[in-house]
Structure 1
Amino acid sequence: MARPRKPLLSRERIVETASALVDSEGLDAVSTRRLAAELGVSGPSLYNHFRNKDEILDAVADALSARIDLSMFDEGDARGWSDALHDWAVSYRGVLTDHPNVVPVLARGPGRRPAGLRVADAVFGAMVRAGWPPAQATYIGALMRYFITGSALGSFARGFVDDRDAYDPADYPHLGQAHLLAERQEKVDEGAFETGLRALVDGLALQYETFGEKTQR
């Protein structure tokens, strides 16, 4: 029998299958046994590509990091640092909201993941080039990761039920419209993210002016 032209198993196939499992069933659904069954291979064959489940999940997370737009941090891009930071955050959140079950892995930081490290390097490098002191550039990178991943971990609007009777005015006089939040989830959550993002970027812009004044003295 002729050997197949393509290998039966590859890192890409494993990551794609694991990603689909995480999206549909969550992180706990991923195991080497389950992946082997989904891929139609023996369990030990996975270890030719990954040492354990954690490495697989890292690869899934890194595949998502690779989708984040970093073009706004290119040296030839005309956007200022604040607009670049805003647009990057929007792209980052867009990736996470499409794959919310992976957020807990991404929230731990890039570790040794190449795409994740490229994201961190791009943000830090752009802030330093813009004139931020290295320590502050580090704080900005951390702050933005906290905000973006935190916003993608859950939905504020989905935390309310669509039952008007759940919010008795006698007990909750200011929640008379809370039962409408669930059906307006996307608008509420996107509006909250944009409001918070603008507050962060505008606040950083004020700090940036302060640093500029200090360096001119």
Structure 2
Amino acid sequence: MVRPRTPLLSRERIVEVATAIVDAEGLDALSTRRLARELGVQAPSLYNHFATKEEIVDAIGDAIVAGVDLSMLGRDPWPAALRGWARAYRAAFRAHPNVVPFLARGPARRPASLRLADAVYGALVSAGWPPAQATRIGAAMRYFVAGSALGSFALGFVADPSLYGADYPHLRDAHRLADRHSEVDEAAFELGLDALIDGLERRFAALHP
């Protein structure tokens, strides 16, 4: 990573470089010493902006969530809004898969994450969902989106036809999945999203006969 002759330190720059480290090597690779080295500064300089490494990780997570489009929530009919939001949320997760386990824990005190939760819940309640149901829907959607972004189902199968023999007769074409992982994973996400929304629409209709 090229360092400027005179390092300019800001919260935004710290988060940018910290995100690059985590994206490339995972959360365990991030330390204040490593981050300071990449920024070309001494570690104590970071403490003028963040008190702890945990605060830096919080800021990484919130910056990612801040990029999720929420414009459809409260604007579009709730089924279309949930679809659009789920796709935008998943795209943000997939761009930073190493941060997904951290984000999956919930919003904590992160402002952008709380705004997202508020927007989803508010859109559902305004559309006519009872508050308790809206809470459960928001949780179910987050479970689904986060799970779909944690890894590739298709890439979990090795491209070795000899592995799938008589012991696994129903997996005789599994070796082909890796080469088609993008298609398989995207189609699986859309299938699951359709099933979730279809089921919710039936439940909503039963609530409002």
Shorter-chain TM-score: what band? over 0.9
Structure 2 matches for 1:184-195, cutoff 5 A? 184-195=180-191
Structure 2 matches for 1:133-172, cutoff 5 A? 133-168=130-165, 170-172=166-168
What is the rounded CA distance, in whole Å, between the counterparts of 1:35 and 1:210 in structure 2? 53
Q: Give CA-to-partner distance per residue, 1:117-146, whole Å, 9 cap, x none.
A: 110000000000000001111111111111
Any unmatched runs of 5+ in structure 1?
1-5
2:9 match: 9
1:25 match: 25
TM-score, length-scaled by structure 2: 0.95
Alpha-carbon shift at residue 8 of structure 1 (Å) = 2.5
Q: 2:197 aligns with which of 193, 201, 207?
A: 201
What is the rounded CA distance, in whole Å, between the counterparts of 1:16 and 1:119 in structure 2? 21
Amino acid of the structure 2 residue aligned with 1:176: R
What is the rounded CA distance, in whole Å, between the counterparts of 2:38 and 2:20 in structure 1? 11
- SS of 1:161 mapped into structure 2: coil
Structure 2 matches for 1:114-129, cutoff 5 A? 114-129=111-126
Any unmatched runs of 5+ in structure 2?
1-5
Amino acid of the structure 1 residue aligned with 2:48: N
What is the rounded CA distance, in whole Å, between the counterparts of 1:11 and 1:108 in structure 2? 23
Runs (4+) of structure 1 exceeding 6 A deviation are none
Pairwise CA RMSD: 1.2
What is the rounded CA distance, in whole Å, between the counterparts of 1:25 and 1:138 in structure 2? 34
Alpha-carbon shift at residue 7 of structure 1 (Å) = 7.6
What is the rounded CA distance, in whole Å, between the counterparts of 2:179 and 2:92 in structure 1? 22
- Paired-residue identity, %: 65
Alpha-carbon shift at residue 163 of structure 1 (Å) = 0.7
TM-score, length-scaled by structure 1: 0.92
Amino acid of the structure 2 residue aligned with 1:137: A
Are 2:55 and 1:65 equivalent residues in the alignment? Answer: no
- SS of 2:56 mapped into structure 1: helix
Amino acid of the structure 1 residue aligned with 2:73: F
CA contact (8 A) 2:7 2:41 kept: no
2:177 match: 181
